[in-house]
Amino acid sequence: MAVLDVLDQIKRGYIRDMVKQNKRIDNRAFDEYRKVEVEQGMITSAEGSARARIGKSEVLVGVKIGVGSPFPDRPSEGILMTNAEFLPLASSTFESGPPREDSIELARVVDRGIRSANAVDIASLSLGEDEEGRPKVWITFLDIYVIDHDGNLQDAAGLAAMSAILNTQLPKYEDGQIVREEKTGPLPSKATALSCTFGKIADKIILDPCYAEEVSLDSKLTIATVKDHICACQKSGGGGLSRAELDYCMDLALKKGEELRGKLKA
């Protein structure tokens, strides 16, 4: 076994022992987030953008608006496309090259929460037909860039994405052309969807695991909520969760989701 593997195993054992003793490496309570910060308007060339920090994890999201043909089975709906990129400078575990499995998973988790809650109201993004009678719709490109990785990228990316959506202004569409210098109003949205991520070690549930905790988990659960209900869930890891643990996570996700929405309003 390599020296690095031995050190990782020692650190993992240390983290797990601390959690079993009701302690965390950064002295947080089990139901406490690290410091959360949100900032809008970071990319001037995009229709909307935002940056979110949770502890040392930092994610930047840009929203770009285009025009195209709808999917054949949904001719009157706009299109939402979500992509995540793990920049190599963000973590020693990231490498350049084609999309990694975990970057694809991150994009899907963020997309699922937004789509399930109609946080981007794609039904309102039809532009009618062009001169040749072909339907045209707005296409919303949601691009997620991980700047720094210290665990719980799901919540940081979800927070940055939702903030960027609320920051987005639709450009003018005239004579088959996008006039980006002129804006017609905000990107239609029916809800503010945000996620809360939990980790399980032995029989303990912790909120917002940092990277050291994340690599020590038995399982992880991300729950996306709007104001009054849950709209999406994603579980990873081989460990299971009891009904009581699921109920606890769902109740806490609704409560903490409201706290995160307060950050967006601020």
Mean pLDDT over residues 210-216, rounded? Answer: 92
Higher pLDDT, 91 or 65: 65
Q: What is the per-residue pLDDT for 95? A: 58
In the chain, what are the domain boundaries? 26-265
Residue 6 has pLDDT above 80, yes or no: no
pLDDT for 80 beyond 60: yes
pLDDT band at 51 (very low <50, low <70, confident <90, very high): very high
- Mind spelling out the 3-state secondary structure of the chain? CCHHHHHHHHHHHHHHHHHHCCCCCCCCCCCCCCCEEEEECCCCCCCEEEEEEECCEEEEEEEEEEEECCCCCCCCCCEEEEEEEECHHHCCCCCCCCCCHHHHHHHHHHHHHHHHCCCCCHHHCEEEECCCCCEEEEEEEEEEEEEECCCCHHHHHHHHHHHHHHHCEEEEEECCEEEEEEEEEECCCCCCCEEEEEEEECCEEEECCCHHHHCCCCEEEEEEECCCCEEEEEEECCCCCCHHHHHHHHHHHHHHHHHHHHHHHC
Terminal C-alpha separation, the chain = 49
pLDDT tier for residue 94 given thresholds of 50, 70 and 90: low
Do residues 219 and 239 make contact, with C-beta atoms less than 8 angstroms apart? yes
pLDDT > 70? residue 99: no
Mean pLDDT, rounded, for 51-59: 97
How much is the pLDDT for 130?
83
Q: For the residues 61-80, what does the mean pLDDT come to?
A: 95
Question: What pLDDT, in 10s, does the model give residues 167-204?
Answer: 999 999 998 899 999 999 999 999 999 999 999 999 99
Q: Can you tell me the distance from the alpha carbon of 94 to that of 195, in angstroms, rounded to the nearest whole number?
A: 23
Indicate whether 92 pLDDT > 80. no
pLDDT at 47 over 90: yes
The closest of 197, 191, 192, 200 to 219, measured between CA atoms, is: 200
User: Model confidence at 112, in pLDDT bands (50, 70, 90)?
Assistant: very high
Of 87-96, 150-159, 189-198, 251-260, the one with minimum mean pLDDT is 87-96
CATH number of the 26-265 domain: 3.30.230.70
Q: For 51-65, 86-100, 157-171, which range has the lowest pLDDT when averaged over its residues?
A: 86-100
CA pair distance 219, 193, nearest whole angstrom: 23
pLDDT at 43 exceeding the cut of 60: yes
